[in-house]
Structure 1
Amino acid sequence: MSVKGKVIIITGASSGIGAASAQLLAKNGAKVVLAARNESKLQKVMDSINQNGGQAIYQRTM
């Protein structure tokens, strides 16, 4: 199954498995929405994805 062009929401995306999953999915063409509590870490993950040609946005969650 291809993820290219799909929008995928990832919780816990600021570090660990969540961040790694977001990076991998974006590398394979998914548009990712990152969600977690730590906004500064979310920003870094988003910036990394976008700088490497992927598409990501984030939303801080509680």
Structure 2
Amino acid sequence: MQNLKEKVVAITGASSGIGKAIATKLAAAGAKVVLAARREERLVEIVSTITEKNGEAIYVVADV
């Protein structure tokens, strides 16, 4: 995957499944990720996992 440093990516449905996997991969590639989903407790866990690996992530609770 190409270097995504300094790119911002918004991901809906990010609390599980494909959305979670995409968020994790993009963050590992250097993207700043904005996670959106309904389940805040899962978003908190994912953001924590990403930031523990020196990635940048925030979340927004949303029902898209």
**Fold-level match, TM-score > 0.5?**
yes
Match of 1:49 in 2: 50
Question: TM-score with structure 2 length normalisation?
Answer: 0.91
Match of 1:23 in 2: 24
User: What is the aligned residue count?
Assistant: 62
Offset at 1:4?
Answer: 1.6
| Deviation larger for 1-10 or 25-34 | 1-10
Question: TM-score with structure 1 length normalisation?
Answer: 0.94
CA distance, structure 2, for counterparts of residue 2 and residue 52 of structure 1 = 16
Where structure 1 has 5 or more consecutive residues not aligned to the other structure, the ranges are none
Percent identity reads 52
